Amino acid sequence: MQRHDWLKAPEIQPSTRVNELGLPNRAPGSAREADRALLALAQEGFLDTTHFDTVRFPPPPWANEVIARASQEGSLAYTPYRGHPDVLKSVAEGLHTTFGLSFNPDTELILTPGTQAGLFGALASLVNSGDDVVLIDPDYLFSERILRFLGAQITHIPLMGEANPQPDLNALEDAFKRLQPKLLVFSHPNNPTGAVYSPELIAAIAELAIYYNVTVVVDELYARLVYEETPFTHLAAQAGMKERTITLFGPSKTESLSGYRLGVVAAPAKVIKAIEDIQSITALRAPAYSQHVLVPWLHHDGLWIADRLKEFWKLRKITAQAFAKLPWLKLHLQKATAYAWPDVSALQLADTTIAQALMRDAKVLVSPGYQFGPSGAGHFRVCYARDEQEWTAALERIITVLDNFAVQAGLPKRIELGSPLYQQRLNEIQGTKREDRGNSLAQALQTLASSNSKVNNPSGSLQQTCQQLFMRLIK
């Protein structure tokens, strides 16, 4: 008898924790299987709108130069798990100068291999199986999956209002009162809607967190991708919140540095130590040479960021002009990110049905709404940070597919361009009747420069950058 005649293939079973990565009751069958089936359809030539186009919007020109120099000059390949001390110091200075936030680089910061690793490390360091966690709905699609993997009991708090989505504070306080949860988790600006929460709302969240003794994990990855003059408010800057807030930062979106795998977590020293312990057994450290890209980050890229925001703003307008053609579709483009979050629930179709049709007939991959929370059903997310011509053509294909569904459902067909109804729809989607709000960003940065005049910034680079930016934008 040959040896292979009696050997049996092993029946290897993944851990039961892996099953918790699914999202029950949101899509036909397993949500994970639906995701995989959708991705399996993607082929060469399909437009993937689930992320930023880093070919059309490449990293800053200095990024590769910094990495090459770090490698050639023999910089540490095995940095401390938290990150290179000099890089941490530079990041702390940048967070203070740009955001007005003060963190001790030795004890309150850690560099992670991407903000995703930072999110996992933060949640894994705090959540025990069975802990109650409150999650804003909709929100970043992987937050809930990580929490389920860790065995958390999740309560969703919905966003209220279509034009200006904000968390339901009454529901939030009720959850805090009933559950005494371990954590509140949310992204700000919100992913997927792009909403920026008002200063009053952030202050109210802080007040509730302090009163009910709730720790907060907030993902501020898109804090630099804000278009409007409405100020962006950091939760950790609220009185009494630095001690109970874990904040995630990173250069992967606005700066297109996603391929460099860099994230920053700012938190109380005890939490940073716990994240370091977890990182030491999962990824060890952020990529050592990539870490040096964070030295110039937040310091000398103000004009570069402004130019990029102007390009995103133009694509935002193109996106609005396309979706305004469908009278039954609901969309309010928000004040941040490069995402559109159209509500197509009027079609009364499953998210996966729409996503698969867009993949098959429009050759476009979108993120189905159910991935982002129970209230995400009936939506999909697209990222409009793409090549202008490619995106314009893709939008027309998307509109055609959706319009065909609308005809089958007995909904109104697309609107004629230039009609009063079209202009009304366009104004609603853009949230303004003005043609261009580029000056709004300039005004906001002038205010920023003025309000930061007391920041310890001997070179005056922040104020000079804002003034130069203002002059450039009004030309």
Per the CB < 8 A criterion, the answer to whether 339 and 192 are in contact is yes
Summarize the confidence of residues 1-13 as an average pLDDT. 66
Higher pLDDT, 337 or 75: 337
Higher pLDDT, 73 or 134: 134
The pLDDT of residue 38 is 60
The pLDDT of residue 259 is 84
The pLDDT of residue 450 is 40
Choice among 60-69, 178-187, 193-202, 417-426 with the minimum mean pLDDT: 60-69
DSSP codes joined into one string, 58-119: PPPTHHHHHHHHHHHTT--SS--TT--HHHHHHHHHHHHHHH-----TTTSEEEESSHHHHH
Q: H or E segment at 203?
A: helix 199-211
Q: Does residue 442 register a pLDDT over 50?
A: no
> Residue 467 and residue 408: Cα distance in Å, rounded?
54
Model confidence at 469, pLDDT cuts 50, 70, 90, reads: low
The pLDDT of residue 464 is 38
Per the CB < 8 A criterion, the answer to whether 155 and 191 are in contact is no
The pLDDT of residue 437 is 45
Summarize the confidence of residues 424-452 as an average pLDDT. 58
Per the CB < 8 A criterion, the answer to whether 293 and 259 are in contact is no
Q: Which two tokens stand for residue 94?
A: 């940048």
| Distance in angstroms between the alpha carbons of the first and the last residue of the chain | 85
The pLDDT of residue 35 is 59
The percentage of residues in the chain with a pLDDT greater than 90, rounded to a whole number, is: 65
Model confidence at 21, pLDDT cuts 50, 70, 90, reads: confident
Q: Kindly list the distances between the CA atom of residue 105 and the CA atoms of 2, 95, 132, in Å, as whole numbers in the listed order.
A: 63, 11, 31
Q: H or E segment at 189?
A: none
**Tokens 């089936």 identify what position?**
37
Higher pLDDT, 424 or 258: 424
Model confidence at 267, pLDDT cuts 50, 70, 90, reads: very high
The pLDDT of residue 453 is 37
Model confidence at 356, pLDDT cuts 50, 70, 90, reads: very high
Q: H or E segment at 275?
A: helix 269-282
Higher pLDDT, 158 or 59: 158
Higher pLDDT, 389 or 17: 389
Summarize the confidence of residues 399-412 as an average pLDDT. 97
Q: Does residue 40 register a pLDDT over 70?
A: no
Q: Does residue 448 register a pLDDT over 50?
A: no
The pLDDT of residue 468 is 45
Please name which of 42, 183, 138, 115 lies closest in space to residue 343, comparing C-alpha atoms: 138
Per the omega criterion (within 30 degrees of 0), is the bond before 412 cis? Answer: no
Model confidence at 29, pLDDT cuts 50, 70, 90, reads: very low
Entry field: residues in the chain: 475
The pLDDT of residue 431 is 86
Higher pLDDT, 231 or 152: 152
Model confidence at 475, pLDDT cuts 50, 70, 90, reads: very low
Q: Is 155 helix (H, G, I), strand (E, B) or coil?
A: strand
Summarize the confidence of residues 136-158 as an average pLDDT. 96
Summarize the confidence of residues 67-89 as an average pLDDT. 85
Q: Does residue 465 register a pLDDT over 60?
A: no
**Tokens 């954590």 identify what position?**
183
> Residue 105 and residue 86: Cα distance in Å, rounded?
9
Per the CB < 8 A criterion, the answer to whether 370 and 35 are in contact is no
Per-residue model confidence as pLDDT tens digits over 281-331: 999 998 888 898 899 889 878 888 889 999 999 999 999 999 999 999 999
Per the CB < 8 A criterion, the answer to whether 344 and 354 are in contact is yes
> Residue 297 and residue 188: Cα distance in Å, rounded?
20
The b/e string for 315-347 (b: 16+ C-beta within 10 A; e otherwise) is: bbbebbbbbbbbbbbbbbbbbbbbbbbbbbebb
Choice among 69-73, 86-90, 251-255 with the minimum mean pLDDT: 69-73
Q: Which two tokens stand for residue 160?
A: 């209220």
Per the CB < 8 A criterion, the answer to whether 100 and 147 are in contact is no
The pLDDT of residue 471 is 35
**DSSP code of 154?**
E
**DSSP code of 160?**
E
Q: Kindly list the distances between the CA atom of residue 399 and the CA atoms of 195, 345, 367, 405, in Å, as whole numbers in the listed order.
A: 24, 15, 16, 10
Q: Does residue 106 register a pLDDT over 60?
A: yes
Per the CB < 8 A criterion, the answer to whether 425 and 324 are in contact is yes
The pLDDT of residue 459 is 36
